[in-house]
Amino acid sequence: MDPMTSLFEPRQVGAMHLASRIVMAPLTRNRAPGSLANARMATYYRQRANPTTGAGLIITEATAISHQGQGYADVPGIWSEAQVASWKQVTDAVHAEGGKIVMQLWHVGRVSHTSLQPGGAAPVAPSAITAKTKTVLLVDGQAKFMDTSAPRALDASELPGIVQDYRHAARNAMAAGFDGVEVHAANGYLIDQFLRSGSNHRSDAYGGSIDNRARFLQEVMQAVVAEIGGDRTGIRLSPVTPANDASDDAPQPLFTHVIKALAPLGLAFVHVIEGSTGGPRDHQQGPAPFDYAALHQTYRAAGGQGAWMVNNGYDLPLANQALAEGADLVAFGRPFIANPDLGARLQQGGPFNTVERATLYGGGEAGYLDYPTLG
């Protein structure tokens, strides 16, 4: 395979045949009032869905599996029949362009605010430790960053219900016409909070040892795979990101354990954020730089067959290098916001539109639907 052209070549990913290795990463845009998808969202995804000029695969913005799972204003959900119906306009639009789309399933855990929770309750978490981070609320239609609220620790008896929320959300995503789902286990949200020693101080079967801290992730993944099949299920991991106050003093053994546990599930893909999400690729937590190549090798050695997706700060040369070194898919985030036809622009070496930061979160069509395409 010629590494200079491999980004634009097809790849079978589980049950999905992708026209290219280019993936649109999940990007929160806060444009779903009432937690419902809408016509603007359908247009936004359609603009990026053409497999020749856009993405081989689209991963939606993070979508809450339950009201409790919400942590930001005007983000979509997938727990109700109305939400399922609302998302059908999005999947229909993407499929009309010949594209493929999976839904990212999200429970934010402690990264929330009481104003977004059912009955104004405290957010939930593995342990009652407030995240040193911000959430986005909309004040008079403008995005405003606010401190997260203090969470309460989940009782172990509540966890099977949350696992079932993931399973139900996966079933709903398929009913809405998605090609699959990605379980969000990264960036300091609920599953990641259970994994990491900085946010999980439990003393029961879900805390302490690496095996215990990984138990919730395994239960979620087993439930989703049992519901819709491994060949339509992916997972997103971020071994060393500090996003949303995520920390662990020994990430290499932690994620080695996690990746071995995922290998037998027959997943469609494993999506790995390298370094600090949206920041330095060489960010380090723990005593040594994280070895992503070793993580990939461990997954393959344990029998994992899923496509290996890399993410964080990729351009065409770096993407080609990653593919030459064994990656299968490359995810691009913010470049897809400003460049609906990013695939075509990568293929011809640009030019590239720049992102308008002021319109990233919340608002209307400006900075959402009006980025120009080539020609």
Instruction: Compute the average pLDDT of residues 306-331.
Output: 97
**Could you tell me the CATH number of the domain that includes residue 323?**
3.20.20.70
Tens digits of residue pLDDT in 129-163: 999 999 999 888 788 999 999 999 999 999 999 99
Two structure tokens written together for 174: 């398929």
Tens digits of residue pLDDT in 277-295: 999 999 999 889 999 999 9
- 121 assigned to some structural domain: no
Tens digits of residue pLDDT in 55-87: 999 999 999 999 999 999 999 999 999 999 999
Instruction: Compute the average pLDDT of residues 88-95.
Output: 98
Domain range for 81 is 6-112+159-359
Tens digits of residue pLDDT in 169-204: 999 999 999 999 999 999 999 999 999 999 999 999
Nearest Cα to Cα of residue 24 among 366, 342, 351: 342
Tens digits of residue pLDDT in 5-54: 489 999 999 999 999 999 999 999 999 999 999 999 999 999 999 999 99
Two structure tokens written together for 128: 């009652």
- 139 assigned to some structural domain: no
Two structure tokens written together for 331: 């995810």
- 39 assigned to some structural domain: yes
Catalytic residue flag (residue 166): no
What's the pLDDT at 285? 92
- 267 assigned to some structural domain: yes
- 66 assigned to some structural domain: yes
- What residue has token string 């932690």? 254
Nearest Cα to Cα of residue 37 among 95, 85, 100: 85
What's the pLDDT at 143? 82
- What residue has token string 């639009």? 93
Q: What does the DSSP assignment read for 25-52?
A: --------GGG---HHHHHHHHHTT-TT
- 149 assigned to some structural domain: no
Measured in whole angstroms, how far is the alpha carbon of residue 359 from the centre of its chain?
21
- 236 assigned to some structural domain: yes
- What residue has token string 């247009």? 43
The span from the CA of 158 to the CA of 189, in Å, is 17
Two structure tokens written together for 151: 């969470």
Provide the angle, in degrees to the nearest 10, between the axes of the packed helices 292-301 and 251-262.
Answer: 30
Structurally, the chain folds into a number of domains equal to 1
Does pLDDT of 1 surpass 50?
no
Does pLDDT of 2 surpass 70?
no
User: 219 exposed, middle or buried (CB, 10 Å; 0-12, 13-18, 19+)?
Assistant: middle
- The secondary structure element, H or E, covering residue 222 is helix 215-228
Instruction: Give residue 313's region: left, alpha or beta (phi > 0; psi -120 to 50).
Output: left
User: In sequence order, what E strands does the chain have?
Assistant: 11-13, 16-18, 22-24, 57-64, 101-106, 124-125, 134-139, 142-147, 152-153, 180-184, 233-237, 269-273, 307-311, 329-332
Does pLDDT of 3 surpass 70?
no
Contact between residue 56 and residue 93 where contact means Cβ atoms under 8 Å apart: no
Of the listed 44, 72, 166, 189, which one is catalytic? 189
The span from the CA of 344 to the CA of 340, in Å, is 9
